[in-house]
Amino acid sequence: MRGISLILGLACMLSASSTTIAAAADQKASSTIGAVTVFPSGAEVRRNATVNLSAGETTVIFPDLPAETVSGSIRIDGESNGLLSIGSVDQRRLFVPQSGSDDDGSERKRIEAEIETLQDQRRLLEGRIEASETRRALIKNLSNLPNVPPGRDGAGSAASPNWNELLGLISTGINDVNESIVSANVAIRDTDRKIADLQRKLNELAPKRVERTEVKVHVTADKDLEAKLTVTYQVRSASWIPSYEARLDSNAKGDAPNLRLVRRAAISQRTGEDWKKIAIKLSTTRPTAGSSAPTLRPLIVDFEKPKPVVSVSRRMAYDAAPAAEEAPADGLMSQKKDRIGAARLRAAPAPAKPVMAAVEMAPFQAIFAVPGLTDIPSTGERKTVHVTNDDIVAKLRIKAVPKREATAYLYTIFKLAADAPPLLPGAVSLFRDGSFVGKGRLPLIANEEHELGFGSDDLVRIKYAVVQEKRGETGLISTNATDDRNYKITVNNLHKQKIDVTILDQMPVPRDEKITVALTGSSQPTKKDVEDKRGLLAWDFTLQPETEKVIDFGYVVKWPSDRKITYQNR
């Protein structure tokens, strides 16, 4: 018996010793966010922690990563004053209760006590109802006395009851009992409502359970040492949206026009953790946009199979059915230029210089380092930061479509420097010579030319006139119908300097070889099928100051006279 006790004692000691070793092998690390790189969709977060490790194997636990940490994106880096090996990295999701404040705790206790008092009152009311029900049953028994048969000896009771008094007593008693039951039920209903309201308040004050990601890092140290570990991971609920200001200085005195392109970024995140006093970088990379090109499936050509015969009744039912509603137009349609007002910028004696981001160019991405430390709460609110300014020597050009609108629009044609980061798609606010002229949208622009409209130019006057629209026939044996149209476009430059002009118009495009279209007029276009659009014509020329340019052009359409034609805009 003594041997068994000794064995059990040794077993307990070994168990306690192994538990102590296991506890010592697990070490929680307190980490803080040091830097974040935000992508157009998603972000990469870097957490830093300093841990003191004992010689041997240790499991370092990071319990406070957000729940939406992308699986497979976790990377561990470290440095120390000794030999440190990083082994496997495990990840799991768990719920962590969040403790409330002391005020919340005292309020919860007060509400719980009030709920208990109300529950006691409810039980008393239930007892009152039960007693009233018993009383009502006894009163009902009194109403059965007239039905009790006399004794066997044929003699009645010593004194015959006064039935009128008895019936009055029964009636009064039942009314009192019913009133008591109804009032008790009303009190119970009010008590239940109070308990429900208090329970809701109690639930609101209850400690919340927050879902988090726990990361376990298995490390090995050759001696006791201090290690600095960095956990890098990606989250999805973060983004930055580019926005721009295009400020055109047309330099009416004759100098070269200048275009200043101001880049801004609106950052937002709902990752579940606030970013406080951290260094932020903006990257043009899209890690969630896919990593490989799509796969093409074989394209099979075959004879068309005969269509099934549809009965007359089914055809009539189909024809009578209402047509499906058309889908709404795409929200990315080009926006109309806003001509409302012109907010005049007030020149400051000493304009403030914005702090701009440092640009790190890589072969396949651009990274903007936002200066200073930034706070971005996990509420989805946008934080706008100034990124960079690009000063570009731009070329000006007037562009007009007189057939649709006799208005000259001023465009600037610019090209980014070869080492400049690309422009991501985004909204742009347009300013011309200090005045706001509207809004537009920039596409993805890299190292190529792009034109940007800056509103109407009132010093370039355009007139559009229809000189001739005549239909007739030609030929003696085989006649053709003709449609002969001629137009006159007048462009007048009222500026004090020369300006480049582009006039756009169109000619019909036949879809049948029996229809022919020929250009007429003395002013032949400099370009045909502009931007690969069939029938689109362009006249490019430079107009000297205070001079006029006249464009005479037209076209003749011919087709067999036994057929009719129609013009369609596509």
**Residue pLDDT, tens place only, 208-219:** 667 889 999 999
| 286, 240 contact by CB (below 8 A) | no
**pLDDT interval class at 17 (50, 70, 90):** very low
Residue 66 pLDDT exceeds 50: yes
Residue 401 pLDDT exceeds 90: yes
Instruction: Give the closest residue to 49 by CA, choosing from 71, 70, 80, 18.
Output: 80
Tokens representing 471? 């239909």
- Residues ≥6 apart with Cβ < 8 Å to 3: none
Rounded to an integer, what distance in angstroms lies between the CA atom of residue 153 and that of residue 150? 8
Bridge partner residues of 12 (DSSP): none
**pLDDT interval class at 321 (50, 70, 90):** very low
Q: What are the φ and ψ backbone dihedral angles of 418, each rounded to 5 degrees?
A: -60, -30
DSSP H/E element including 243: strand 238-249
pLDDT of residue 31: 92
First to last CA, the chain: 103
pLDDT of residue 229: 94
Q: Give me the chain's average pLDDT, please.
A: 81
Residue % of the chain over a pLDDT of 90: 43
pLDDT of residue 311: 57
Mean pLDDT of 299-322: 60
**Residue pLDDT, tens place only, 537-546:** 999 999 999 9
DSSP 194: H
Look at 168-177, 396-405, 452-461, 548-557 and tell me which has the smallest mean pLDDT. Answer: 168-177
Look at 173-177, 511-515, 552-556 and tell me which has the smallest mean pLDDT. Answer: 173-177
> Three-state SS for 227?
strand
pLDDT of residue 478: 65
Residue % of the chain over a pLDDT of 70: 77
Instruction: Give the closest residue to 400 by CA, choosing from 497, 527, 280, 539.
Output: 539
Residue 5 pLDDT exceeds 70: no
Beta-sheet strand order (sheet of 449-456): 449-456, 405-415, 395-401, 499-506, 536-543, 527-528
Rounded to an integer, what distance in angstroms lies between the CA atom of residue 482 and that of residue 460? 36
Tokens representing 426? 């985004």
Look at 4-13, 251-260, 325-334, 536-545 and tell me which has the smallest mean pLDDT. Answer: 4-13
Instruction: Give the closest residue to 186 by CA, choosing from 125, 127, 124.
Output: 125
Mean pLDDT of 493-504: 93
Mean pLDDT of 548-567: 92
Rounded to an integer, what distance in angstroms lies between the CA atom of residue 537 and that of residue 509? 12
pLDDT of residue 326: 40
Tokens representing 524? 């032949």
Tokens representing 15? 């168990």
Residue 178 pLDDT exceeds 50: yes
pLDDT of residue 337: 42
Beta-sheet strand order (sheet of 258-269): 383-393, 258-269, 238-249, 426-432, 435-442
DSSP 145: G
pLDDT of residue 97: 64
CA-to-CA dists, residue 489 to 397, 467, 501, 548, angstroms:
18, 10, 13, 10
| 219, 203 contact by CB (below 8 A) | no
**Who has greater pLDDT, 293 or 73?**
73
CA-to-CA dists, residue 72 to 18, 69, 231, 233, angstroms:
33, 9, 13, 8
Instruction: Give the closest residue to 68 by CA, choosing from 49, 37, 84, 45.
Output: 45
- Residues ≥6 apart with Cβ < 8 Å to 479: 473, 561
Give the other-Cβ count within 10 Å of 363's Cβ. 4
Angle, vertex CA 319, rays to CA 317 and CA 321, nearest 5: 70
Mean pLDDT of 20-31: 69
Rounded to an integer, what distance in angstroms lies between the CA atom of residue 336 and that of residue 334? 7
Residue 521 pLDDT exceeds 80: yes
**Who has greater pLDDT, 102 or 448?**
448
pLDDT of residue 152: 47
pLDDT of residue 294: 79
**Residue pLDDT, tens place only, 182-202:** 888 999 999 999 999 988 888
**Residue pLDDT, tens place only, 118-173:** 999 988 988 888 888 888 887 777 666 666 565 544 444 555 666 667 677 777 87
Residue 35 pLDDT exceeds 80: yes
pLDDT of residue 523: 93
For 404-413, b/e burial (b = at least 16 CB within 10 A) is eeeebbbbbe
Rounded to an integer, what distance in angstroms lies between the CA atom of residue 375 and that of residue 382? 11
> Three-state SS for 151?
coil
Residue 471 pLDDT exceeds 90: no
Rounded to an integer, what distance in angstroms lies between the CA atom of residue 549 and that of residue 418? 37
